[in-house]
Every structure is written in structure tokens, then in C-alpha cells.
Amino acid sequence: MPEENTLFHKILTGEIPSDKVYEDEHIYAFLDINPVNIGHTLVIPKKFSRTLLEADEETIAHLFNGVTKIARGVKEATKADGINIMNNSEASAGQEIFYTHIHIVPRFDGDGFTHWKGARKYNSGEEQEVVKKIKKEL
């Protein structure tokens, strides 16, 4: 899908309205229309990449500097007990809009939002094999 056809590109260009939280020359942040909790904010880079893993280092630096600043603001404004900062890269990880974006989700004790279901244990020796494979790719 070309960048111009993504929901987030249309939000950036003003074709689709959004509730803007923050904007600078590199990023745009707005409220999620289907929030996990009130204050759930999305942060997108103005430079397109399909997934975070495809973004260049400069874009990632600007994105995460902004995410940190915005997350602090969201936490204070919502009086949240904690914050989740999340990214889903590719459909199997839950990505639905193929334009890099970060979720800032205010969390409240007892809010019922859960993750890490189905965590598993490594088999004997499996950790070392995985570490070797990852290091080889770095």
C-alpha cells in the first residue's frame, strides 16, 4: 500500500481530522480513536516507514525523544499509575496500520488491560542458541 493511502498519512495531511496532542517538525501525536484507556496517544514520524524496523536511525531518534516527552505529559495529565509504550511491527505482532507508530497507553491499577499471555519457558540450552543467532544478525 502506498504511503498516501494510509490512515496516518491522511491524518498528517489533514484529510482526516484528529485530536492533536503534539507536533513538531519530525513527529505528530494524536489521541487514539479506540483508546485502551482515556489519554491513549499515538505518535507517528512525519517521515514514512512501513514499520519501526524499516525506519532510519534519525527518524527513530526523533520519534523516541518525542515519545518520552509525550508519555510524561500523558501520565501527568491523566494521573495514570503507569504507562505502556508499545509498537507492533507486522501483522503477526498486531500491526493494523502499516505506517510506523508508537502507542502511549496510560495505565491504572485494576484497569483490566493485560498482555504477555501465554508466556513460555525456554527448553534446556535454547537460550544460548537464540543468543548466538541474534548476535550473528547484529
Q: pLDDT tens, 122-137? A: 889 888 999 999 899 9
- pLDDT band at residue 1 using 50, 70 and 90 as cut-offs: low
- pLDDT band at residue 2 using 50, 70 and 90 as cut-offs: low
Look up residue 33 and give its amino acid. I
Catalytic residue among 9, 62, 101, 103: 101
- pLDDT band at residue 41 using 50, 70 and 90 as cut-offs: very high
Domains and CATH numbers, the chain: 3-137 (3.30.428.10)
Written as one string, the DSSP assignment of 36-64 is SSTT-EEEEESS--SSGGGS-HHHHHHHH
Q: pLDDT tens, 46-67? A: 999 999 999 999 999 999 999 9
Q: What is the pTM of this model?
A: 0.90
Q: pLDDT tens, 52-111? A: 999 999 999 999 999 999 999 999 999 999 999 999 999 999 999 999 999 999 999 999
Q: Is residue 26 annotated as part of the catalytic site, yes or no?
A: no
Are the C-beta atoms of residues 93 and 50 closer than 8 Å to each other? no
What residues have CB less than 8 Å from 105, skipping those under 6 apart?
A: 35, 36, 37, 40, 83, 84, 85, 86, 113
